[in-house]
Structure 1
Amino acid sequence: MICRPPADHRVQVPSPTGAEPAHGSTSGGLRPPLRGPSIVGLALPALVVLAAEPFYLLVDTAVVGNLGTVALGGLAVGGGLLAWAAALLNFLAYGTTARAARRAGAGDRRGAVQEGVQATWLALALGVLVLVLFQLLAGPLTRALAGGAGPVAEAGERWLRVAALGAPLLLVSLAGNGWLRGVQELRRPVRYVVAGSLLSLVLCPLLVHQAGLGLVGSAVANVTGQALTAALFVRALRREDVSWRARPGALVRQIVIGRDLLLRAAVLQLAFLVAAGVTARTGTAALGAHQIALQLFFFLALVLDAYAIAAQTLVGQALGRGRPDEARATARRVTAWGLGTGCLVAVVLLALRDVVPPLFTDDPAVLAQAAVVWWFLAGFQPLAGVVFALDGVLMGAGDVGYLRTLTIGAALVGFLPLSLLSAPMGWGLVGVWTGLTLFIALRLVGVLARVVGDRWTGAPETVAA
């Protein structure tokens, strides 16, 4: 049963300032949460965790780019499919953070950790399903995304079949990040993710070039790093004093609560896949430039999303304590941080527009296409900084139904139509990235309209009674 705990049964815990005394017992594994850290105190460790994987992908793209345009296109196709699956299931991190934060805010650490146990079982099940599907459908999927059979589709298929072995490991790490963020354990996820990413970074150039494995070496390095990270998260969970028994009811509740995030992610990733497919039909050079710019976009999105993680944790714990004013104050602060950081990122991108693209490829045609996309990439960063920060606020409040509707509407009105029209109208990358810019702008209007009101502070509770 999913419900809001009655007010007279809510466990009272200290405020971040320690202004109020705690009431009720903290025995049986219950203990007050950590004293509230600042937004930056939560965002910086989250930034390292969020940026580690896309940073590796950027290095991976640079290493593979030196193999030639076909290998770069194959990585774009295969990597896009695997990234689609991971993003589709990222509710394992975001949904678990929201649920664990509410429990931790109410003083129930053991219950928060149990959310991590159930999320880990769910991650394993979904990861195996993703692995099987990619082994069965790698060929048709890569051919569909690459615009038909050819060297790019074949390269993407080879990469995907190996890289898909890491799908269960990647999802387990998402679940581990989720519950540790919820209980404000910030240092361990940093160590775990950095360890796995460093291993991948060392192995990638060695396997691709020195060992002569080519594009497949990139996939092997990816899986090896994911295995180390997942093992560390599992070890952390096993050290907690909780049962490891899978609870079907709890698993079902996690799926039900995650349905809005899942549908939201599905439409979002469909839009990115359509954009990649349209770009692939424009030409290999355009696809290579799109891959470079898109990896930078994802990298920067996760950098800005560090504020969303901080907001999600702080808002979830504030509402778990029954303090909506504290949640509103967090929303105001995180908006300012997101806007300021987005402006700084835009300035840096424009300053480095002639420096960064050549790090990925020396193909003049790809560089020419990348120069066109760069202005879009830099231009919408301030908008994205605010959007991602306020996404975290609404997720922490459990207002995922609104986020679902807003994201789907923005994709159907902005991103998808312009991407689909780009091919017949001859707009190329300009049309695709104009659609992405409109998508972000529409989301900005929607999240601002929601947060200035009060409905989000009364969003349905995400903790099972």
Structure 2
Amino acid sequence: MGKAREFFIVLVPIFVTQLALVATGFCDTVMAGHFSSEDLAGVAVGANLYFPVFTTCISVLSGLTPTIVHAYGAGKRWSIVFAVRQGFWQALFIAAVVLLLGWIFVPVIIHSLQLEPRVEYVAIHWILAISCGMPLIFLSAVLRNLLDAHGFTRLTMLVTLITVPINIVANFFLVYGWGGFPALGGVGSGIGTAVAYGINLLLNVLITLYVTPFRNYHIFRRFMPPLWGACRRQLALGLPIGGAIFCEVSIFSAVGLFMAGYGTAVLAAHQAALNFTTQVYMIPLSISMALTILVGYELGSKRPVDARKYARLGRILSLIVVGIVAALLIPMRSIISAIYTEDPAVHELLLVFLAYTVGMQLADALNAPLQGILRGAKDVRAAFLLSVISNWAAGLPIGWLLAEKFDFGPYGYWIGLIAGLLLGGIFLSMRFYFVEKKWDVMYGK
């Protein structure tokens, strides 16, 4: 019972934080959908280009979490300060590279899709607006790693619960033109989110300056230049994590771009279904993040038996909770669809897409906890390679064949996505079995 209690102390704030974060994307999608189907499709195209890159970069920076948590478990205070300060440089460098590449390539990519004029306009300007806040949220992510690695996930939750309502309110004003603001449609949601990124950074900085134990690290007291050797070592851990996440997220975006060829209604319905399943994914994702912290701390303290207990608990909990949610989804599809759209054509398509989300949710429940366990153990390169194989070498080709050669249409791509996730879960299970055997050698049974 003690392990279960500690697990939930870490897990619940992470889950609330993640749910609040995706609530912003949920509100963006719903607001754009009720503004017009063209704005919903434009936000969908923009999101399919922006979020794979954004999520990958945040995941690269999340490599700081196992570094900090291992140092914390071993009592190495200076290593924590050093990792955070170098993390700031990594965040700024990554943001600069992404913004430069986006400025060059995003317009070219979107023009090549031959979208309707309004859809193209919304997609380009939504990306432009939200990317203005990218450097701020990357810096904030470094500080969030510091908080989470110490088990202060409730502080992260508090920051998010303050930031998200501000974001949602700002979006309402900017999307619909309330309070004298111009009605910017989907573009307004991108501006509101960029503003929220800045507020998120400010709150995390204040916590680091004034809340114990973080104030005792004096993170901002001394300037530290970037050190390439330290950055290279940290990127050796962070890049495989980011690469694995990119393989998973980018395949969804690739499918989203394929959906553009089936028309605005299909693209809008696909985006709404994907947005909904993202809400459910916060359950296994939060469990995954909690497992990274707890498994990493126990291994840093040389307690592999406790790490195993957390790993088993997290995997079982993920399957049970997501299984219950998936069972409730089928009879509630019509209600969920009505939340996203009033367009009859989009509504009918969305009912079918929502049925496919059940398989995706169950596959995620198997896959995500294993990723968190392996990150906590700093075993990230194999997970990256397995993600490439399962998603891009298997999932996407299966989806394309079903959609284009066997007349499954847009639903064929969803079958491919599910197949890739299931295959990834099987591969990661095999890898975890191998890693457990290594623990026996390193720490003893």
TM-score w.r.t. length of structure 2 = 0.90
Identity in percent: 24
2:28 alignment partner AA: D
Where 2:132 maps in the other structure, the secondary structure is helix
Where 2:358 maps in the other structure, the secondary structure is helix
Asked whether 1:289 is paired with 2:257, we answer no
Aligned length: 428
- In structure 2, the partner of 1:327 is 307
Q: What is the CA–CA distance in structure 1 between the aligned matches of 2:72 and 2:378, rounded to whole Å?
A: 15
The counterpart of 1:241, out of the listed 195, 201, 218, is 218
- In structure 2, the partner of 1:11 is none
Gaps of 5+ in 1: 1-15, 18-34
- In structure 1, the partner of 2:212 is none
Q: What is the CA–CA distance in structure 1 between the aligned matches of 2:77 and 2:329, rounded to whole Å?
A: 42
Q: Following TM superposition, by how much is the alpha carbon of 1:148 offset from its aligned partner in structure 2, in angstroms? A: 5.0
Task: Quickly say closer, same or farther: Cα 1:391–1:66, change in 2 above 3 A.
Answer: same
Q: Following TM superposition, by how much is the alpha carbon of 1:458 offset from its aligned partner in structure 2, in angstroms? A: 7.5
Q: What is the CA–CA distance in structure 1 between the aligned matches of 2:419 and 2:131, rounded to whole Å?
A: 32
Q: What is the CA–CA distance in structure 2 between the aligned matches of 1:53 and 1:412, rounded to whole Å?
A: 27
CA contact (8 A) 2:130 2:190 kept: yes
**Cα distance per residue 1:412-441 (max 9 Å; x no partner):** 343210333324543222101101110111
CA contact (8 A) 1:77 1:156 kept: yes
Q: What is the CA–CA distance in structure 2 between the aligned matches of 1:129 and 1:236, rounded to whole Å?
A: 28
Where 1:352 maps in the other structure, the secondary structure is helix
Task: Quickly say closer, same or farther: Cα 1:456–1:54, change in 2 above 3 A.
Answer: farther
Q: What is the CA–CA distance in structure 2 between the aligned matches of 1:77 and 1:439, rounded to whole Å?
A: 22
- In structure 2, the partner of 1:215 is 186
CA contact (8 A) 1:274 1:420 kept: no
- In structure 1, the partner of 2:150 is 183
Q: What is the CA–CA distance in structure 1 between the aligned matches of 2:218 and 2:440, rounded to whole Å?
A: 32
Asked whether 1:444 is paired with 2:434, we answer no
2:410 alignment partner AA: L
- In structure 1, the partner of 2:241 is 261
CA contact (8 A) 2:33 2:340 kept: yes
Q: Following TM superposition, by how much is the alpha carbon of 1:91 offset from its aligned partner in structure 2, in angstroms? A: 2.5
- In structure 1, the partner of 2:439 is 457
Q: Following TM superposition, by how much is the alpha carbon of 1:75 offset from its aligned partner in structure 2, in angstroms? A: 0.2
2:418 alignment partner AA: T
The counterpart of 1:172, out of the listed 124, 136, 139, is 139
CA contact (8 A) 1:311 1:393 kept: yes
Question: Superposed, which structure 2 residues align to 1:3-402 within 5 Å?
Answer: 38-144=6-112, 146-148=113-115, 150-209=117-176, 210=178, 211=181, 212-238=183-209, 239=215, 240-242=217-219, 243-248=222-227, 249-402=229-382
Q: What is the CA–CA distance in structure 2 between the aligned matches of 1:379 and 1:262, rounded to whole Å?
A: 25
CA contact (8 A) 1:275 1:432 kept: yes
CA contact (8 A) 1:286 1:366 kept: yes
Q: What is the CA–CA distance in structure 2 between the aligned matches of 1:225 and 1:356, rounded to whole Å?
A: 27
2:198 alignment partner AA: A
Q: Following TM superposition, by how much is the alpha carbon of 1:229 offset from its aligned partner in structure 2, in angstroms? A: 0.2
Q: Bigger shift: 448-457 or 433-442?
A: 448-457
- In structure 2, the partner of 1:406 is 386
CA contact (8 A) 2:20 2:164 kept: yes
Task: Quickly say closer, same or farther: Cα 1:444–1:459, change in 2 above 3 A.
Answer: farther
Where 2:281 maps in the other structure, the secondary structure is helix
Where 2:341 maps in the other structure, the secondary structure is coil
CA contact (8 A) 1:414 1:436 kept: no
Q: What is the CA–CA distance in structure 2 between the aligned matches of 1:109 and 1:428, rounded to whole Å?
A: 55
CA contact (8 A) 1:112 1:182 kept: no
Q: Following TM superposition, by how much is the alpha carbon of 1:124 offset from its aligned partner in structure 2, in angstroms? A: 2.0
Q: What is the CA–CA distance in structure 1 between the aligned matches of 2:43 and 2:64, rounded to whole Å?
A: 30
Q: What is the CA–CA distance in structure 2 between the aligned matches of 1:97 and 1:260, rounded to whole Å?
A: 14
Where 1:168 maps in the other structure, the secondary structure is helix
Task: Quickly say closer, same or farther: Cα 1:458–1:98, change in 2 above 3 A.
Answer: farther
1:235 alignment partner AA: L
Q: Following TM superposition, by how much is the alpha carbon of 1:77 offset from its aligned partner in structure 2, in angstroms? A: 0.8
Q: What is the CA–CA distance in structure 2 between the aligned matches of 1:459 and 1:152, rounded to whole Å?
A: 57
Q: What is the CA–CA distance in structure 1 between the aligned matches of 2:439 and 2:263, rounded to whole Å?
A: 48
CA-based RMSD of the aligned residues comes to 2.4
Q: What is the CA–CA distance in structure 2 between the aligned matches of 1:84 and 1:432, rounded to whole Å?
A: 18
Q: Bigger shift: 54-63 or 93-102?
A: 93-102
Q: What is the CA–CA distance in structure 2 between the aligned matches of 1:186 and 1:433, rounded to whole Å?
A: 34
1:245 alignment partner AA: M
Q: What is the CA–CA distance in structure 1 between the aligned matches of 2:329 and 2:75, rounded to whole Å?
A: 43
TM-score w.r.t. length of structure 1 = 0.86
- In structure 2, the partner of 1:5 is none
Task: Quickly say closer, same or farther: Cα 1:37–1:112, change in 2 above 3 A.
Answer: farther
